[in-house]
Amino acid sequence: MMIDVKTLCLGVLSRGDASGYEIRKEFEEGPLSHFSDAGFGSIYPALRRLTEDGHIVMLPHSGDGRPDKKLYRITPAGRHALYQALTRAPAPDKLRSDLMFILTFGHLLPPRHLDRIISDRISDYRRLIATMEAQENQVARTPGESFVEGMGLAIYRAVASYLEDHRHELVAAALMENQVAE
């Protein structure tokens, strides 16, 4: 089963009422940001459909002199739909990565450029790891969120280490390719 945006929204709303903006923030900065992606273009149609299906209700909320925002709340039917989705076997993981595409053809790049791409990504991973470690005990998380965050940290650490330990192999292949091409 592939998790769709409606199910992702139900998951966020199972944690409490939220606006469309707050739901989107969960996919940009929250615990879902590392493995799920949903933008306004998919969230609002999903919220409309969930409302039509009776899985959520919209609660008008006035905000201290600011424009009213719409808050959404999961219903018992929505909790049941979320539970049903969670009990299905997950689809196999599929990693989509621009970096992995570039590295697949990395031997075709100038070695210095390739090395810089890898160095930049290692730095990105190390910053992300440091940020996640710093936030580990600052925010209350469900046991599942803590487990998944720990899994994410393990993956990021492993990838950064792999890049550090094996980058020379791909850079050497790029050097050989570039020498042959000259």
Please indicate, yes or no, if residue 117 is contained in any of the structural domains: yes
Higher pLDDT, 35 or 55: 55
In a domain, 92, yes or no: no
Same domain, 105 and 177: yes
C-beta separation of 85 from 1 below 8 A: yes
- 78 with 105, same domain: the answer is no
CATH code, 61? 1.10.10.10
pLDDT digits (tens, 9 = 90+) for 96-123: 889 999 999 999 999 999 999 999 999 9
Are 49 and 20 members of one domain? yes
Distances (CA, A) of 113 to 152, 167, 175: 28, 12, 11
Calpha distance 68→76 (Å, rounded): 25
The per-residue pLDDT for 66 is 63
Q: What is the mean pLDDT of residues 16-38?
A: 80
Among 87, 112, 133, the domain boundary falls at 87
Residue 134 has pLDDT above 70, yes or no: yes
Pair 47, 103 in one domain: no
State the residue range of the domain holding 13: 5-87
Establish if 52 belongs to a structural domain. Answer: yes
Are both 112 and 169 inside the same structural domain? yes
Q: Are residues 72 and 119 in the same domain?
A: no
Report if residue 40 sits inside a domain: yes
Domain match, 104 and 30 both: no
Position 93 in a domain: no
Say if residue 94's pLDDT is above 90.
no
Residue 135 pLDDT > 90: no
What is the edge-to-edge ordering of all strands in the sheet holding 18-19? 18-19, 66-74, 56-63
Q: What percent of the chain has pLDDT over 70?
A: 90
Please tell me the predicted confidence (pLDDT) of residue 25: 86
Please indicate, yes or no, whether residues 30 and 50 belong to a single structural domain of this protein. yes
Q: What is the pLDDT of residue 181?
A: 64
Over residues 139-174, the pLDDT tens digits come to 777 888 888 888 989 999 999 999 999 999 999 999
Is 39 a residue whose pLDDT tops 80?
no
- For the entire predicted model, the pTM comes to 0.76
12, 75: one domain: yes
**Secondary structure (DSSP) of 107-134:** GGS-HHHHHHHHHHHHHHHHHHHHHHHH
In a domain, 137, yes or no: yes
Determine, yes or no, domain membership for 78: yes
Of the two residues 79 and 177, the one the predictor is more confident about is 79
Q: Into how many domains does the chain fold? A: 2
Tell me, yes or no, whether 19 and 76 share the same domain. Answer: yes
Does residue 172 share a domain with residue 102? yes
d(CA 152, CA 31): 10
The answer to whether residue 171 is domain-embedded is: yes
pLDDT above 90 coverage of the chain, percent:
55
pLDDT at residue 32 greater than cutoff 80: no
pLDDT band at 68 (very low <50, low <70, confident <90, very high): low
User: pLDDT per residue over 45-63, tens digit each?
Assistant: 999 999 999 999 998 766 6
| Distance spanning both ends of the chain, measured CA to CA | 49
Judgement on whether residues 103 and 70 belong to the same structural domain of the protein: no
What is the Cβ-side half-sphere exposure of residue 108, based on CA atoms within 13 angstroms? Answer: 5
Contact 86, 105 (CB under 8 A): no
Give 140-147 contacts, CB < 8 A, sequence gap 24+.
141/31, 142/15, 145/31
